[in-house]
Structure formats: structure tokens, C-alpha cells
Amino acid sequence: MNTISGIKVHAASNSLELIFADGSSATLDGGLLRRHCRCAECRRHPPLPVSVSPASILDIESIGLHGLRLHFSDGHARGIYPLAYLIELAEMADHAALPAHAAGPLAGPATGHSSRL
């Protein structure tokens, strides 16, 4: 994968699409992103499994040139997702290296918010 040139939130499928400079894309499930938040709060108290407490992506916010803050339906909006970390998650998802508890739909129809970086 390469440099991210755009990002779209697909509300209907609760997913975040990463659009790369070469025209390729990768899509990450919102629940997967919520479970992989690396903020201090989530490191101390991981969120409930998606089957118990599903969290949808409500909005995205650019944090400088190298990160995003994702706003989730469970009220969580503290974590900053560096673009390099999003690429890492996409690569792991492509190679099915994510733990089973993190599995979820990885693609969906294109509808929702978008952001060009």
C-alpha cells in the first residue's frame, strides 16, 4: 500500500475507506477501528465486544497532516489514529492477521462523509 490521498466514511456499512494515491483503496470496519483504539483509556479498559456494544463511526476529524480522530456512536472520540496505523490495520486485514475478536466486514457500499488529505 502507499500514501493515503483521501478518506470516506460509509455510514450504511459502518466503514472507513482509505483511498491511496495509486488509485487503490482499503476499507476498515468501524467496530474493528473502535476495538483497535490505542488511546490511554482504551489501553486501560478495552471496549466491550461488538456483539455486546456495537459502535458506529459518526464523524472524522483531521488531526494535523498525519492523523484522524474518529467519533463513535458510543461517545468515544479521544483516540488519534495516525495514518500509518490505519495503513497497518488495512494491511493486516488484507492478510487476515487481525485476531478473530477483531473480525468484521471489511467492505461496503460507498455512501457517507469523505475527506481529502
Which pLDDT tens digit goes with each residue over 45-84?
Answer: 876 665 655 789 999 999 998 999 999 998 999 889 999 9
- Can you give the pLDDT at residue 53? 57
The confidence score (pLDDT) of residue 84 equals 95
Kindly give, in sequence order, each residue whose CB lies less than 8 Å from that of residue 65, ignoring residues fewer than 6 positions away.
117
pTM of this prediction?
Answer: 0.74
Map out the domains of the chain with their CATH numbers.
Answer: 4-116 (3.30.2020.30)
List the one residue out of 36, 89, 26, 94 whose CA is nearest residue 18.
26
* pLDDT for residue 107 is more than 50: no
> What band does 43 get if pLDDT is binned at 50, 70 and 90?
confident
CB 59 within 8 A of CB 71: yes
Q: Exposed, middle or buried, 84 (CB in 10 Å: 0-12/13-18/19+)? A: exposed
What was the pLDDT predicted at 102?
A: 42
